[in-house]
Amino acid sequence: MPRVDFERDLRQLQDDLLFLGSMVEKAIAKALDALKRRDFSASQEVLEEDNIIDRKRFEIEEKCIDLIATQQPLARDLRILITVLHVAVELERMGDYAEGIAKISLNMGDEAPLKPLIDIPRMGELAAKMLRQSLDAFVNRDIVGAHSVSEADDEVDALYEQVYRELLTFMIEDPSKVKRATYLLWVSHDLERIADRATNIAERVVYLVTGKLVEMKTSKY
Amino acid sequence: MVQSQQESETLEPVAGQSQSDENVLAARNLSVWYGNFRAVRDINLDVKRNSVLALIGPSGCGKSTLLRCFNRMNDLVLNSRVEGQIIYNGTDLYAPSTDSTEVRARVGMVFQKPNPFPKTIFENVAFGLRVNGFKGNLQEAVERSLRQSALWEEVKDRLNSSALELSGGQQQRLCIARALAVEPEVILMDEPCSALDPVATLAIEDLIRQLVAKYTIIIVTHNMQQAARVSHETAFLMVGEDRAGYLVEMDATDKIFTNPSHEQTEAYITGRFS
Amino acid sequence: MATNPSIQEQLNPRLSYRKKLGSVVYFLLLAAVLVGIVSLIVLLARILFEGIPWLSWHFISDYPSRFPERAGLKSALFGTLWIMGLVAAFTIPIGVGAAVYLEEYSPKNWFSNIIEVNISNLAGVPSIVYGLLGLALFVQWMAIGRTVLAGALTLTLLVLPIIILASREAIRGVPDAYRQAGYALGADQWQVVRRIVLPSALPGILTGTILALSRAIGEAAPVIAISALVYLTFVPTDPLDRFTVLPIQIYTWVSRPQDEFRGLAAAGIIVLLVILLSMNAIAIYLRNKYQQRSRE
């Protein structure tokens, strides 16, 4: 009894999750790009597309619950479903951070960014890469890949610290820049959180493969 | 306990077998033969005191045969032969000096289909006490067993009516009470819920979890969820190329059901076994 | 579309033919039953018609006589009761014991197979053969004489196979699950047999035994070989007395030339039938009673 239907549903569910991942990845890139180009309509689109991400996440959750209720999954099947359930939540939260960045961009209005955006897009790229890597590790059941995600998080943390100090200096030197500095601080904070959540996904991959729940690395932030 | 008041007549310690107090039963290189056919091969496992051990595996993997070694019920099968040892509190149950009826008074058994005797409820529970020459207060002992098996309230007013009037679930709890009456240390259960409806099944499972405070229970089950619900440890048996059952792995139940070590266990419990 | 005709189209149910055939078979089977029942009713009616006028208290309490109006069957009735009691006393322990041994104790090998086949064969041996065996074995060789004891022993041989077979059947009917449960509680073999197997098999054993006993008291042939006495004017008082039984008494009356004795024979048959039917009734009653106790 190879459980053909259940196998198909499990595969479909994992495909759905990867699709959600690609949506989130696009949202992050688009939000940063819109911020950089001061493109309000693009930011607006990110806000709207986040609703689709939210719906997709619930869809995945419901499918997981259905399968748990009807198929009594055990062992690897159970771990796959639990992992998908958690990762879907992580991805949806990442989507919310992208939405947050889009909102900041809209709030900034006509004000020019405090400084040219160099480190922040770099953070964004790193975070997006971590997300890709963590999902690749999920697909390939790859513990080594999962660990490299948590190592990349150090880099993001380092960049975040750098951006933070820089913006702090701006604020101390000239209190009138506090508002504009804060906008960027929020953006960089959102990106740092995205990277942390990619690490969470990597932790779930470790659970999926080994059955062990481990905290990979405590982020400084 | 009834037992502790009485010295064993036939159970003698095995020389050189030191067994920690933690384990009440152990199988050592155990093989069972029916004529020329080896039903189980080279089983080694330990059963922790006051725990529930579930034996799972596909049909024909010898889990019932293994179970029936622990109280020497296999002796009743024609041409059956046991190699290796079953160590019970440091004594070998298959030593030539061991009396199988004494073993069975200490290791009780509950069967797949409820099989109360066609006698009254009282006489069913009293049976084991009577055949083993119990000299104490029979009424009290029967009541105690029925209370332990959560049946007392349901039958206290009709102890003298036939056990066969009870529902299937009640009959199975009566069979458990009957096994408990002589206060064995271990209770073997051979698919005790396979003939019961879901409600009666859950009642038996509740009972098993209560009984484990006082007894050690080994249960054979085809129902994976049941094994997951009631047992502390799970042993997975497979059928080999030679059609003999062997132990694939034994581990904590939550480990077996979330992340078993062997691919075969994984395939079996996730229903990918063919 | 050139498709093959569907299976449904190719069916030819011939419903009316099947219905007719069904009712023909039904009536043939019913007729087969009626042949037996009707002839039995005719026989009974004739016996009752001829015998009832001769039934009276003195018919039961008087000894046989040359004069039909004074003749009774006291000696035969008591002979039958004696035989019944002794046969029961001999066959029950031996028959049930043998059945228990064969079902519960004997190892399954060629020896037990031979015993089994022989017991089944013995149940089919004609009763006169047992009579001749009893004559040679008990009456002459063991020199017991033509006594109640010799008759009872002979009939014991006759019905023993039946009781063994019936008891084995009853013991085999006890679910193995009961034995397993007994052993699992630390009972040994004898405790399992005595406390579980025998009580559960009792209704079947009783029924078989009573039916076998009623066969014993209905038999004439072996008793004629043993007793040979057809005219007795005393009741046996111990097992070494001489005796006669109802079937023999009936047989002698039938063979008398006078018509009146045929009436007496019919009356004797009624008495014998009453005894047989009440034994069967007891058997049915006991079976139902114990079955209720064990099945409800």
What tens digit of pLDDT does each residue of C175-209 get? 999 999 999 999 999 999 999 999 999 888 988 88
Task: Judge whether A77 is closer than 8 Å to chain B, CB to CB.
Answer: yes
Q: What is the pLDDT of residue B166?
A: 94
Please report residues of C whose CB lies closer than 8 A to that of B111: 177, 180-181, 184
Q: What is the pLDDT of residue C217?
A: 83
Contact (Cβ atoms closer than 8 angstroms) between residue A126 and residue A152 = yes
Q: What is the pLDDT of residue B16?
A: 52
Mutate to test the interface with A, among B236, B270, B273, B274 (most CBs of A within 10 A): B270
Class of domain C57-295: mainly alpha
Task: Judge whether A79 is closer than 8 Å to chain B, CB to CB.
Answer: yes
What percent of chain C is modeled with pLDDT above 70?
93
Amino acid at residue number A208: L
Tens digits of per-residue pLDDT, A20-47? Answer: 999 999 999 999 999 998 899 999 999 9
Tens digits of per-residue pLDDT, A137-147? Answer: 999 999 999 99
Task: Judge whether A2 is closer than 8 Å to chain B, CB to CB.
Answer: yes
Residue of chain B nearest C291, judged by CA positions: B118
Query: How close does chain B come to A78, measured CA to CA in Å?
Result: 7
Tens digits of per-residue pLDDT, B2-49? Answer: 444 455 667 776 655 555 578 899 999 999 999 999 999 999 999 999
Residue of chain A nearest B264, judged by CA positions: A75
Residue of chain B nearest C187, judged by CA positions: B131
Q: Which residue has the higher pLDDT, C235 or B151?
A: B151
Which of C183, C186, C196 is opposite residue B102, by nearest beta carbon? C186
Query: How close does chain B come to C89, measured CA to CA in Å?
Result: 28
Q: What is the pLDDT of residue A221?
A: 64
- Flag whether pLDDT at C242 surpasses 80: no
Q: What is the pLDDT of residue B211?
A: 93
Give me the helix-helix angle, A75-108 and A119-140, nearest 10°. Answer: 160
Q: What is the pLDDT of residue B4?
A: 43
Which of C177, C200, C293 is opposite residue B113, by nearest beta carbon? C177
Contact (Cβ atoms closer than 8 angstroms) between residue C153 and residue C134 = yes
Residue of chain A nearest B258, judged by CA positions: A75
Cβ contacts of A213 within 8 Å, gap of 6 or more:
A203, A207
Contact (Cβ atoms closer than 8 angstroms) between residue B230 and residue B54 = yes
Residue A132: pLDDT band with limits 50, 70, 90: very high
Contact (Cβ atoms closer than 8 angstroms) between residue B187 and residue B156 = no
Please report residues of A whose CB lies closer than 8 A to that of B272: 1-3
> Looking at the DSSP assignment, which residues form a beta bridge with residue B86?
B27
What average pLDDT score do residues B46-56 get?
A: 95
Q: Decide if B178 and C293 are in contact by the 8 Å CB cutoff.
A: no
The residues on B that touch A, with CB distances below 8 Å, are 224-225, 228, 255-260, 265-266, 269-274
R_g of chain B, CA atoms, integer Å:
18
Which of B40, B21, B24 minimizes the C-alpha distance to B32?
A: B40
Whole-angstrom Cα distance, residue A169 to residue B40? 76
- Tell me whether residue B69 is exposed, middle or buried, using C-beta atoms within 10 angstroms of its C-beta: 0 to 12, 13 to 18, 19 or more: buried
Domain boundaries, chain A: 3-210
Interface predicted TM-score (ipTM): 0.89
What average pLDDT score do residues B91-108 get?
A: 91
Q: Decide if B224 and A74 are in contact by the 8 Å CB cutoff.
A: yes
Q: What is the pLDDT of residue C2?
A: 58
Q: Decide if C183 and B78 are in contact by the 8 Å CB cutoff.
A: no
- Compute the Cα dihedral for C171, C176, C177, C183 and give only its sign: positive
- Flag whether pLDDT at A95 surpasses 80: yes
Please report residues of A whose CB lies closer than 8 A to that of B260: 75
Q: What is the pLDDT of residue B274?
A: 66
* Residue C130 CA from chain centroid, whole number: 16
What average pLDDT score do residues C245-249 get?
A: 80
Contact (Cβ atoms closer than 8 angstroms) between residue B34 and residue B41 = no
Other C-beta atoms closer than 10 Å to the C-beta of C278 total 11
What average pLDDT score do residues A100-126 get?
A: 88
Q: Which residue has the higher pLDDT, C55 or A218?
A: C55
- Flag whether pLDDT at C116 surpasses 80: yes
Q: What is the pLDDT of residue A198?
A: 96
CA dist A79 → A58, A64, A93, A216, C209 (Å): 19, 11, 21, 18, 67
Residue A7: pLDDT band with limits 50, 70, 90: very high
Tens digits of per-residue pLDDT, C29-38? Answer: 999 999 999 9
**Other chains touching C, judged by 3 or more CB pairs under 8 Å:** B
Least confident of B31-35, B262-266, C262-266: C262-266
Query: How close does chain B come to A144, measured CA to CA in Å?
Result: 19
3-state secondary structure chain C: CCCCCCHHHHCCCCHHHHHHHHHHHHHHHHHHHHHHHHHHHHHHHHHHHHHHHHCCHHHHHCCCCCCHHHCCCHHHHHHHHHHHHHHHHHHHHHHHHHHHHHHHHCCCCHHHHHHHHHHHHHCCCCHHHHHHHHHHHHHHHCCCCCEHHHHHHHHHHHHHHHHHHHHHHHHHCCCHHHHHHHHHCCCCHHHHHHHHHHHHHHHHHHHHHHHHHHHHHHCCHHHHHHHCCCCCCCCCCCCCCECCCHHHHHHHHHHCCCHHHHHHHHHHHHHHHHHHHHHHHHHHHHHHHHHHHHHC
Q: Decide if A74 and B274 are in contact by the 8 Å CB cutoff.
A: no
Query: How close does chain B come to C112, measured CA to CA in Å?
Result: 15
- Return the SS3 of B57: coil
Residue of chain B nearest C201, judged by CA positions: B118
Tens digits of per-residue pLDDT, C43-82? Answer: 889 888 887 777 777 777 777 777 767 777 777 788 888 8
Least confident of A34-38, B69-73, B208-212, C10-14: C10-14
Domain boundaries, chain C: 16-54, 57-295
Task: Judge whether C112 is closer than 8 Å to chain B, CB to CB.
Answer: no
Q: Decide if B257 and A78 are in contact by the 8 Å CB cutoff.
A: yes
Q: DSSP letter string over chain A?
A: ---HHHHHHHHHHHHHHHHHHHHHHHHHHHHHHHHHHT-HHHHHHHHHHHHHHHHHHHHHHHHHHHHHHHH---HHHHHHHHHHHHHHHHHHHHHHHHHHHHHHHHHHTTPPPSS--SHHHHHHHHHHHHHHHHHHHHHHT-HHHHHHHHHHHHHHHHHHHHHHHHHHHHHHH-GGGHHHHHHHHHHHHHHHHHHHHHHHHHHHHHHHHHS----------
The CATH superfamily assigned to A3-210 is: Phosphate transport system protein phou homolog 2; domain 2 (1.20.58.220)
Mutate to test the interface with A, among B259, B261, B263 (most CBs of A within 10 A): B259
The token pair that represents C290 in the structure block: 């114990």
Q: What is the pLDDT of residue B46?
A: 94
Other C-beta atoms closer than 10 Å to the C-beta of A18 total 15
- Flag whether pLDDT at C293 surpasses 60: no
- Flag whether pLDDT at A163 surpasses 50: yes
Mutate to test the interface with C, among B131, B164, B218 (most CBs of C within 10 A): B131
Query: How close does chain B come to C204, measured CA to CA in Å?
Result: 15
Contact (Cβ atoms closer than 8 angstroms) between residue C64 and residue C249 = yes
Other C-beta atoms closer than 10 Å to the C-beta of C229 total 15
C-alpha dihedral (B92, B93, B94, B96), degrees to nearest 10: 80
- Flag whether pLDDT at C235 surpasses 90: no
Q: What is the pLDDT of residue B2?
A: 43
Cβ contacts below 8 Å, chain B against chain C, sum to 76
Residue B41 dihedral angles phi and psi, to the nearest 5°: -135, 130
Q: What is the pLDDT of residue B139?
A: 94
Residue of chain B nearest C189, judged by CA positions: B101
Query: How close does chain B come to A208, measured CA to CA in Å?
Result: 9
* Residue A147 CA from chain centroid, whole number: 16
Query: How close does chain B come to A60, measured CA to CA in Å?
Result: 21
- Flag whether pLDDT at A120 surpasses 50: yes
Q: What is the pLDDT of residue C229?
A: 64
Q: What is the pLDDT of residue C81?
A: 86
Residue B130: pLDDT band with limits 50, 70, 90: very high
Q: What is the pLDDT of residue B1?
A: 40
- Tell me whether residue A69 is exposed, middle or buried, using C-beta atoms within 10 angstroms of its C-beta: 0 to 12, 13 to 18, 19 or more: exposed
- Flag whether pLDDT at B64 surpasses 80: yes
Q: Decide if B104 and C184 are in contact by the 8 Å CB cutoff.
A: yes
State chain C's mean pLDDT as an integer.
Answer: 84
What average pLDDT score do residues B234-262 get?
A: 93
Query: How close does chain B come to C296, measured CA to CA in Å?
Result: 6
Which of C184, C187, C191 is opposite residue B109, by nearest beta carbon? C184
Which of B169, B138, B174, B128 minimizes the C-alpha distance to B155?
A: B174
